[in-house]
Every structure is written in C-alpha cells, then in structure tokens.
Amino acid sequence: MTTLNIQEQISEILVLRQPSVHRIADVREKLDKLHHHLQNVVNYGNSENITLTDEQKASISALPVAEALHQIDSLKKDLARLQARFSRETLNIGVIGRARQGKSRLLQSLTGLSRREIPDADGMHCTGVRSSICHSLETNTYADVYFYNESGFLEEVIAPYYRELTLGNPPQSIEEFSVRDLTLGAKATTAVDLAKFEHLKKYQKNLSEYRHLLGHASPLHIEKEEIPKFITQYDPDDSKVAYFNYLAVREVRIFCCFPNEEVGKIAVVDMPGLGDTGIGDEERMISTLSEEIDFILFVRMPKHTGDYWADVDVGLYDIANRALQGTSLETWSFQIINALAGGSNQRNCEDLRETINTHHLKVAQTIIANCADSATVQHTILPPVLDHIAKYITVLDRRFMDACERSLIDLQKTLAKLAQEAGQSITLVSGANEYTIFDNLFQDFWNEKLTLDLETLRIDLWQRRQDKDPNLSTAIEIACREAKEETGIPPIEEIRKKSMQKGSINKAYYDLLDIVRVNLSENFQSQLDESLKRSVDELKNKLAGLFSNAGLSSLTEQKNVSILAELLDLLETNADHASDLGMQKIHQGFKDLLEFQLFYRGLAQPRIRKHLDYLTAPREGITGERCAPELGQNPSAETIAEMLITLHSEALYKIDEELQDLLWEPSMSLFSITEEFLDCVLRAENVESSWRKFLWNHREKIWKNEFKWQHLISFFQEYSKPGKLTLI
C-alpha cells in the first residue's frame, strides 16, 4: 500500500468504526436496564419484605444475582471505554518514552512544529501537560487548551500527592489547599519522594498565578505564539520568563499541518514517561492509553557510551501492555531507536535492536532513525507506521470487540443459569400453581367484572336510546342564543353605506342575505359538531373505564379513551393475531369503536338547509317562493334591516324546531355502536378463549402482585437468550 491512498484508508477505518459505536451504546443501555431489574429482584427478596416467607427469601438470595451484577458492572466499564475509543475522530499515535530519549524531537519531526510548541524533555521544562497534535489542513497552527475545574484539579492532581506522601487528608477546596501547611512526613525520605514534594510545593506556592484558570471555559482557543505559555515552565527562547499556566492545564490539542500532508486523520499524542514529572502519571497514562491511543511508538536513545534495556524500559512496556487489556502490544507498537546525527551511537542502536526480544519487549517493528531529522522521520518512520496502522487497526479493533463479546457471552451464561434457577423457584416464591392463580383471576375479570359491567352499560343505553342527548340539547340552546345575539345584521347606517358602496340597494341586500345565512349556518355547525364529539367521547371514556376497572388498568399508563387505542395496539402485536379469529374479532371491535364519530354534516345539516331558503338570494334557477323575498318599491335601509331581522328570526325558529326532532338520534347511535362493539368483543364465537390467551400473555403486567415474581424474572429471562446481548 502506498501513502497515496493511506489517507482514504484511514478515513474509511474511522467510518467503519461508527456502526460499532451504535451497537455498543445499544448494549450499554440494555445492560443498564438489566442492572436495574436485577436490583429489583434483590430488593424484592430483601429481608424487609413482609409478603414473603423466610423460605421464599432464602430461595431468592440463593440465586446468582450478585455474580451477574458484578459482570455487568465490569462490562459497562469496558464498553464505555470502547465506545470512547471508537467515537474518536482521529487515529491516535501515542509516543511513549522517558525524558531525554528524543521523544520531543520525534514529535517535532513528525508534525513540523518547533520546540516552542513541543518543548524538549529537558528536566526543567517538562510539565506533564498532555498534548496531542492533530493534523489539520488549515495552514494556521492553533491550539485548544482544556483546563481542570476545581474539583477535578483537587481530585486528580493534588490528592494523589497527599495520599502517596501521607500528608493527611487531601484538601477539599482550593482555599484549603492554599493555606494548609506543607510538611513532609517522616516516612517520605527518598529522593523520589522529595522531588515529588517539591512539585506539590510548587503547586501551592504559585496558586495565585494559575488559580483563575481552574474552571475556565474549555476549550480556550489560542494562536501558535501563545502555546508555550500553557505548556512550559519557562519560555523556550528566554529562560528568564516563567509561566505558571501549565499547572491548571489538563491537556492541549494542537492543530497544524503535518509536513506530509497526506497523512489524513491522524493525531500524535505525547505521553509522559514514568517518574518524569509528578504523581499520577501512571494512572493518567493507563487511562489515556486504553481510551485514546490506537498505536504506540516507543522511543529510546541509547547513550553512545554504552546502553542496554533497563528495568524502567520493561516497566514502561508493562504498564502500556496492561492498559491495553492484554491485547498484546506486539501488534501495535513500534520501537524507535534514536540514532544521533554523526552516528556516534549507531552501534549501540544496533545492540538494542538485537537484544530487544530477549527482554520480551515485543513490538511489531524496530526502526533505527534520527528522530531529530525531519526528512528521515518522514521517510523512514512515518510510512511504515501509517502502513501498519492501515493494515492492522481493524484487526485490533476487532480484538477489543471480541474481548467484550466474550464477556457478554459469559454474562449470558450467568443469566441463563439465573433464569433457570429462578424458574424453578417460581412455585416456591409465588405460591400455588401459576395457572390456577391465573384462571381465578381471569374468571373474576371476565365473569364478575367485564361482562356484567358491559351488559349493565348496554341496558342503560338501551333504556335511554330515545332520550334527548344532553350535550346536543345544550349545544342547540347555546347556538340559538348566540345566533340571536350575533345575527350578523349590521346597524342601519352600515346598511346604507353598503348599498352606496355596492351601487345598488339590491346588491347590498343580497350580500347581507349571504352574510346572515352563512353566520347562522356556521354557528350551528361548530356548536353541534363539538357537542356530538363530546357525547361520543363520553361513551368511549365510559367503555375505556370499564375495561380499566375490570383489571386492565395496569396494562397501560394511558387514561380515558387512550386506553382503547393502547389495547388496540397490544391486540395488533399479539402473536396469535393472524391466526386467531376470535382475536381478530376483538380487534375489529376496538378499531371500529375508536374510529366512530358523529358529525353535524351527516346528522343535521340536510335538515337545516331547507330552512335557510328564505335567506338565499334569488338567482337563475332559484326563484320564486323558496328563496328570499324581493325588495319592494323604494326600499330603504330600514326595510332591509326589518326584513333581515324577520327572516333571520324565522329561520332560527324553524331550525330550532327541526333540531328538537333529532335530539334523540345521538342516543340511538351511541346505543347502536355499543351493541356492535359488544357483539365483537363479548359475544362473538370463541372470544372468551381469545381474551384468555391475550391476558395470559400480559399477566405479569395486569396482575403485578400475583405474578410479581414472574414479572421480575421475565426481564432477565428475556436477556438470557443467546443473541440478545451482542455487539455483532
């Protein structure tokens, strides 16, 4: 593979990771739910539960729930890390090495930055600020600075010092830290301890310089020139200038254009070595490695006076290996042996290369090169690295996934065992035979409650089927009253004006006829439609309530008429739906009931229409008796007003009379639809056994208490099935 399409390959790798991100998130969610349910099981079997006997409680505590919970917790951590890894936008190359091994030079060569942005690992300048350099196509170099917040600073930076140096309880606030006396205990006497103590004192002494940055909004965007201010102790060009900001900085992300423009979405991360700076490095490195790094470059510069692989090298290697969950550094690390210009340590380099294996420092490749020479780095180190990443990264990703997948399978096994034992203990915990319990409950539901209640309602509706519908009655009353108050007939002056505007009094008259007529018609339509809807909804609510009372209230959280819709949904998704005729009938009943509506347009409008004839202006085809009377000789605005008022009152009176006749129709309709509904859900052939099946399937929800145990274990029974929890 050539570097030309490395960029594309890397982009593709990042894209290919995305689906995994979703799957991991999915599994994490399921694990959360599972955790919650298992916790419920534990709570249920709690010694304080008075509904259970001691024997039952013992049976519950004998289940391997704790084991499952433990596995879940561990998995959740691993998956979170994995998700973070796959969500990254770049492939990250971590550069690990102790101070003075040429790490900084290597980074400078790789990225094209100078020692201003990547300080040499001079003991004096080294700060432990984690910095990563990301390749960006923009020509300007800039950086984002991330600060600690106060609690993070105290917890992650300061507290480890107190613990390791046994200085007492770590301070709980910055204020406290600033005033506390620092004295080293008698136990801490090694040079390392003393050095670390100095670090801590430095943090305290210079608090005022950087305190304002703790909790500063992150990230802070800075330009190239400012970078040293945040990552070094002294200005690289003038050691008299001291900086303190770094003490508050958690990490810096630098964006610049790498010399090799075609590297694609790559970032290099500077990883501090062991013992180089302060306490807490090891933990930080491990967490960084496990979440942030896809590939490692170890850097080692042998002294020309003689060098060998030391314990510290092995230690560093081991830490790195541990952090990667034992997926073996072998495949994704290179060892860079830094050759000095002039070849003074060339032989030592070759020695190291030869002996690397004997110390079990297993890496994929070992490369000798001058890290300070940009061209060498670009040609000798970078291509093989990119090449290797492109080739193997998916394998490595896969290994991580597989590790998690194995853990998931283990969890599944635990759950299966749990489910089996829980199933066996059902009888013990829930009492009598499950089916007997169900049968009694169903009889109660069907015979005692549902059937009786529905029949009672039906009889009531039958008796009232010719009664006036109160909603409609009220609506008509209101509509009439409003029509009387708001006739739409303007005052005489307006009429006069109108006839002048229209140019003829007849036109004004016809216009007004239309206005009055439309007003009247719309008035009734809106009132009546509303009232009809109300009556229908009242019936639906009543029916829904009956089902709720009979026992289905716990099947859904819905109230009122929405219960019916919910039941419809559940019926639809019921497994037997397609083949069970009884179920289909029940489903039909609910569907028809839900869709049922009464409309003014069908019920009343035709009957009202004819009474509006006298408010209809004559036109071709509509003349004579059945339309508005013509204006007489010399009509005036007063005449028009008088006529409109009279015709309006007449229409209103007749409409009212007409509507009184149909006040009972809604009652009849409501009775009819109820009859049809009951025919479907109560009386059709085989519906009782269909209901029985339906309720059996949902028994844990409906009768939570009786089937509580069943309900509790149903969840993890579900998840114990193979394939339920998987990243594949």
Partner 1 sequence: MSADAKNCLNITMLGARGVGKTTLLASVYNEFDSTVKDLGLTLCPSSDTSAILQQRLAELKRQTEVFSATGGIDGTNSPKDFEFGLGLVGKDAELKLVFKDFPGGFIKDHPEQVKSFIDQADVVLLAIDTPAMMEAKGAWHEKINSPQMIADLFKHVLRNLEKTTKTKLVIMAPVKCESYVQRDVDANKLLLTLKENYLPLLNLLNADEFLGKISVVVTPVQTLGSVRFTRIEESGPGEPRFFFRKISPQALYQPRDVDEILKYALTFIIKKYLDDMGFFKRIFNQMFNLSKPFENAVNKMVRNRKESNGFEILQGKDLLNFDK
Cβ nearer to partner 1, comparing 420 with 660? 660
Near partner 1 by CB under 8 A: residue from 635, 696, 698, 714? 635
Q: Please select the residue that binds partner 1; options are 53, 355, 447, 649, rule is CB under 8 A.
A: 649
Q: Which is nearer to partner 1, 315 or 618 (CB)?
A: 618
642 forms part of the interface with partner 1 (CB under 8 A):
yes
Burial 392-404 (b: 16+ CB within 10 A, else e): bbeebbebbbeeb
Task: Determine, following the binding rule CB under 8 A, whether residue 619 of this chain makes contact with partner 1.
Answer: no
Stretch that binds partner 1, among 101-109, 206-214, 313-321, 636-644 (CB under 8 A): 636-644
CB neighbourhood size of 438 (10 A): 19
Tell me which stretch binds partner 1 (CB under 8 A): 14-22, 127-135, 258-266, 644-652.
644-652
The DSSP line for 164-209 is HTT-SSPPSSHHHHHHS-----SS--SHHHHHHHHHHHHHHHTHHH
Instruction: State yes or no: residue 654 binds partner 1 (CB under 8 A).
Output: yes
Based on the shown chain and the rule CB under 8 A, indicate whether residue 632 belongs to the binding site for partner 1. yes
Which one, 182 or 631, has the nearer CB to partner 1?
Answer: 631
> Segment contacting partner 1 (CB under 8 A): 112-120, 232-240, 546-554, 632-640?
632-640
Which of residues 60 and 662 has its CB atom nearest to partner 1 in the complex? Answer: 662
- Minimal distance in Å, beta carbon 575 to partner 1? 58
Check binding of 107 to partner 1 (CB under 8 A): no
477 binds partner 1 (CB under 8 A): no
- Measured at the alpha carbon of residue 678, what is the angle toward residues 675 and 681, in degrees to the nearest 5? 155
> Shortest CA distance to 700 belongs to which of 722, 683, 715?
715
Q: Identify the residue among 15, 187, 625, 723 touching partner 1 (CB under 8 A).
A: 625
CA 547/CA 174 separation, integer angstroms: 62
Residue with tokens 């190359």: 93
Q: Is 681 in the site for partner 1 (CB under 8 A)?
A: no
Of 132, 148, 133, give the one whose Cα is nearest residue 250: 148
Query: Count H helices, E strands: the chain?
Result: 30, 11
Is the Cβ of residue 183 or residue 633 nearer to partner 1 in the bound state? 633
* Per-residue DSSP letter, 448: I
Cβ-contact 107, 118 below 8 angstroms: yes
Out of 657, 672, 683, 721, which residue is the one contacting partner 1 (CB under 8 A)? 657
Burial of 115 (0-12, 13-18, 19+ CB in 10 A): middle
Asked whether position 615 contacts partner 1 by CB under 8 A, the answer is no
Q: Does 304 bind partner 1 (CB under 8 A)?
A: no
Collapsed DSSP state (helix, strand, coil) of residue 239: strand
Based on its alpha-carbon atoms, the radius of gyration of the chain, rounded to whole angstroms, reads 42
DSSP state, residue 342: T
Residue whose tokens read 């009531």: 460
Q: Which of 41, 652, 662, 702 binds partner 1 (CB under 8 A)?
A: 652
Tell the smallest beta-carbon distance from residue 505 to partner 1 (Å): 12
Should residue 722 be labelled a site residue for partner 1 when binding is judged by CB under 8 A?
no
- Candidates 27-35, 54-62, 558-566, 633-641: pick the segment binding partner 1 (CB under 8 A): 633-641
Among 8, 477, 630, 685, binds partner 1 (CB under 8 A): 630
Instruction: Considering only the stretches 116-124, 240-248, 389-397, 638-646, report the one whose residues sit in contact with partner 1 under the rule CB under 8 A.
Output: 638-646
Judged by CB under 8 A, the stretch of 86-94, 359-367, 585-593, 628-636 that binds partner 1 is 628-636
Alpha helix segments (H runs only) across 488-599: 492-502, 505-550, 562-573, 581-595
3-class state of residue 269 by DSSP: strand
Listed in sequence order, the residues at least 6 apart from 410 whose beta carbon sits closer than 8 Å to its beta carbon are: 71
Contacts of 48 (CB under 8 A, 6+ apart): none
Stretch that binds partner 1, among 11-19, 160-168, 311-319, 625-633 (CB under 8 A): 625-633
Q: Which residues pair with 130 in a beta bridge?
A: 251
Which range in 339-347, 512-520, 542-550, 635-643 contacts partner 1 by CB under 8 A? 635-643
Smallest distance, partner 1 to C-beta of residue 652, A: 8
Tell me whether residue 261 or residue 638 sits nearer to partner 1 (CB atom): 638
In the bound complex, what is the minimum distance in angstroms from residue 585's beta carbon to partner 1?
Answer: 43
Question: What phi and psi values does residue 278 have, to the nearest 5 degrees?
Answer: -105, -170
Taking the complex as a whole, the smallest distance from the CB of residue 489 to partner 1 amounts, in Å, to 14
User: Can you read off the two tokens belonging to residue 345?
Assistant: 């340590």
Return d(Cα 391, Cα 569) in angstroms, integer: 50
The CB-of-571 to partner 1 minimum distance in angstroms stands at 47
DSSP β-bridge partners for residue 133? 254, 268
Give the binding site for partner 1 (CB under 8 A). 625, 629-633, 635, 639, 642-643, 645-647, 649-650, 652-654, 657
